[in-house]
Amino acid sequence: MGEVIVVTSGKGGVGKTTTTANLGVGLAALGHKVALIDADIGLRNLDVLLGLENRIVYDLTDVTGGRCRLKQALIKDKHCEGLHLLPASQTKDKTAVSPEEMKKLCQDVAQEFEYVIVDCPAGIEQGFRNAIAGADKAIVVTTPEVAAVRDADRIIGLLEAAELRNPKLVINRFRYKMVQQKDMMSIEDIIDILAVDLLGVVPEDEQVVVSTNKGESVVQDERSRSGQAFRNIVQRIKGEAVPLMNLNQNGMLSKLRRIIGLK
Amino acid sequence: MLEFLTRLFSRESSSSKDIAKERLRLVLVHDRAGVSPQLLQALKSELIKVISNYMEIDESGLEVNLESNDNQVALIANIPIKQMKRLPENVVSTL
């Protein structure tokens, strides 16, 4: 029986789907059997991030509605052996699935896969309740901004009320230089306010846009810094104690290292 | 160099990160306590009602806010008094 992890945030646009895709690809790259479930019904995106948008035949609501079998709806990733996607429906809305149906679905998927990662929609309404219904663990994604951290706090409260205790935090789009200049909240500031465990910090990285454009994931880009951050998070999900990477990319030493190809 | 200078000068006023942190703390106090602006407004009008029995207050200058520091939340009320009321003898004797 695999582990069901929901990736959530409250606020939109902080990187839930990007995180879901990278963790899925990262885990699968290490040889694990991984299924990604896009729970953002009506606004599916995970398929596009993975470059699988042309392969969708059936979707999540077809499975819960009994119009196809689970195996028929699961799409094999083209880059990564062992990675599968269960896409969201683009035409239905959030009420097309109930939390009970999602719970059953997650259990069924977890029979076949080691890791099941659910991409939660933004907001705190039924889409959110559906996405967390079948989860064993939760990851909360935030960015170092007031609105995103505020929403993360709200989500943490709702997760704990739903018996999903000890959610782990991912701080995305972190800018070391701005933190140095005291123009961005630091990791310590955010952890102090939210009082949760840190799972990882992903630096702001233009390479994310480049990869997304191509339907690829930065986690597979050996030279990308955000990719390294996601690879570290993958290790931590597996239970390895990996220290936070050096986020200072502007130091002379790291510049020199990058020039001579040592990353 | 420019960076160094701005950093030097920015120490004088509080940095934008500190402003963000403070705003966040305050907004979370309200969020976590489930205190809505309507609730604060209701509290305000009841306070005015009660206090007006004893003294004349400047209602327009009344401020009621929740504030937090060091993990403690306090209800801070700033109530400007215009004049004390002369209380009737029988009320004073029951106080």
- A168-174 and A197-203 beta bridge pairing: parallel
The amino acid at A204: E
DSSP at B84: E
- Find the helix or strand (DSSP H, E) in which B21 lies: helix B16-33
Helix (H) or strand (E) holding B4: helix B2-10
pLDDT of residue B84: 81
**pLDDT for the residue numbered A112:** 96
Q: CB neighbours (10 Å) of residue A161?
A: 8
Look at A189 and B28 and tell me if their CB atoms are within 8 Å. no
Nearest to B28 by CA among A153, A16, A106: A153
At residue A134, the 3 state secondary structure works out as coil
For the segment A188-205, the average pLDDT, to the nearest whole number, is 96
Domain of A250, CATH number, reads 3.40.50.300
| Listed residue (B65, B27, B55, B16) closest to A178, CA to CA | B16
Averaged pLDDT for residues A242-256:
74
The predicted pLDDT at position A136 comes to: 97
pLDDT at A94: 80
Distance CA A38, CA B70 (A): 40
User: What pLDDT score does A11 carry?
Assistant: 96
Confidence band of A5 (pLDDT split at 50, 70, 90): very high
Q: What pLDDT, on a 0 to 100 scale, did the predictor assign at position B13?
A: 60
Residue A188, phi then psi, degrees to nearest 5: -60, -45
pLDDT at B54: 87
Rounded to a whole number of angstroms, the distance from the CA of B26 to the nearest CA of chain A is 10
* Residues in chain A closer than 8 A to B35 (CB atoms): none
Give the residue-averaged pLDDT of A222-245.
95
Token pair in block for residue A236: 């931590």
Contact residues for B88 (Cβ-Cβ < 8 A; gap 6+): none
Q: What is d(CA A219, CA A139) in angstroms, rounded to the nearest whole number?
A: 17
Which residue did the predictor score with more confidence, B36 or A99?
A99
d(C-alpha A43, C-alpha A24), whole Å: 20
**What are the structure tokens assigned to A208, written together?**
């994310």
**CA-to-CA distance for A94 and A126, rounded, in angstroms?**
7
**Position B35 pLDDT exceeds 80:** no
Give the number of domains in chain A: 1
Residue type, B85: K
Confidence at residue B67, expressed as pLDDT on a 0 to 100 scale: 75
Inter-chain touch A146–B24, beta carbons under 8 Å = yes
- Give me the domain span that covers residue A97: 3-259
pLDDT recorded at residue A129: 96
pLDDT (0 to 100) of residue B88: 66
* Mean of per-residue pLDDT scores for chain B: 78
Nearest CA in chain B to A184: B17
CB contact under 8 A, B31 and A145: no
Tell me the per-residue pLDDT of B37-67, one tens digit each, with 9 for 90 and over: 788 888 888 988 998 888 888 888 888 887 7
Say yes or no: ipTM exceeds 0.90.
no
Task: State the amino acid at position A134 in one-letter form.
Answer: G
pLDDT band at A48 (very low <50, low <70, confident <90, very high): very high
**A11-47 tens-digit pLDDT:** 999 999 999 999 999 999 999 999 999 999 999 999 9
Q: What is the average per-residue pLDDT within A201-224? A: 95
Which bin fits A91, alpha (ψ -120 to 50), beta or left (φ > 0)? alpha
Secondary structure letter of residue B74 according to DSSP: E
Average pLDDT for B8-27? 79
**Closest C-alpha among A181, A21, A169, A168 to residue A87:** A21
Please give the Cα distance from B52 to B30 (Å, whole number).
Answer: 27
Rg of chain A over Cα atoms, rounded to whole angstroms, equals 18
Distance from CA of B15 to the nearest CA of A (A): 6
